[in-house]
Amino acid sequence: MKQMRKTLLLLLLPLFAFAVAHKFYVSVTNVGYSDKDQSLQISSRIFIEDMEKVLLERYNVQAQLATEDEMEGATAYIEKYVRAKFVVRVNGQSMPYDLLAIKYDFDVLICYLEVPNITLSKTASIEIQNDILTDVFDEQQNVLHFKIKDKKKSFVLMRDQNKGMLNL
């Protein structure tokens, strides 16, 4: 009996070590160019749980995203927040973008954005400013990947370093 208790304790001890693990706050944004549509195409992956927290703190909204009880109009709050925190500049000029869709993939929310009417041959630089979730989570990191033609560049954006630029 005593041996069994020791064995049980040895099996359970490693589990307790992970009980206080620190959560990692990250989003991933990919920026590409469509020759066919002459547009920048952007997808941004954000943890649903983190977006729910920001919607609660910023707008006092219990969104319950990706559930049967999702609040009606939740996507409008997501769009309002994204537009306040995500800026696209082409050649130094702020560009309007369309939010094409918001989809859920397990525990991740994916925003699909498009900046239409971009002529790549007339584009010298593309800059993304991403402040998503940095107002709620000090440790938030927003990973940004550019992949346009033969140019690839990645950034890790944070609260105090929130912009990434690709020079073409």
Name the residue ranges covered by the structural domains of the chain: 22-167
Distance of CA 159 to the CA centre of its chain: 14
Cα angle 104, 105, 108; round to 5? 80
Name the pLDDT band for 3 (thresholds 50, 70, 90). Answer: low
pLDDT given for residue 2 in this prediction? 54
Q: Which two tokens stand for residue 50?
A: 């983190």
Q: List residues bridging with 98 in a β-sheet.
A: 114
pLDDT at 15 over 50: no
pLDDT at 97 over 50: yes
pLDDT at 7 over 80: no
Distance of CA 75 to the CA centre of its chain: 15
Helices (H), the chain: 2-17, 48-59, 74-85
Highest-pLDDT range among 9-13, 20-24, 84-88: 84-88
**Per-residue pLDDT reduced to its tens digit, 98-116:** 999 999 998 999 999 999 9
What is the pTM assigned to this prediction? 0.84
Residue range 16-24: mean pLDDT, rounded: 50
Residue range 5-23: mean pLDDT, rounded: 47
Look at the chain and count its residues: 168
Write the CA distances from 96 to 5, 39, 63, 130, integer angstroms.
Answer: 64, 12, 26, 15
pLDDT at 124 over 70: yes
pLDDT at 17 over 80: no
pLDDT at 78 over 70: yes
- Please measure the distance between the N-terminal and C-terminal CA atoms of the chain and give it in whole angstroms: 71
**Per-residue pLDDT reduced to its tens digit, 134-164:** 999 999 999 999 999 889 999 999 999 999 9
Q: Look up tokens 């160019």; give the residue.
A: 33
Name the average pLDDT for the chain: 88
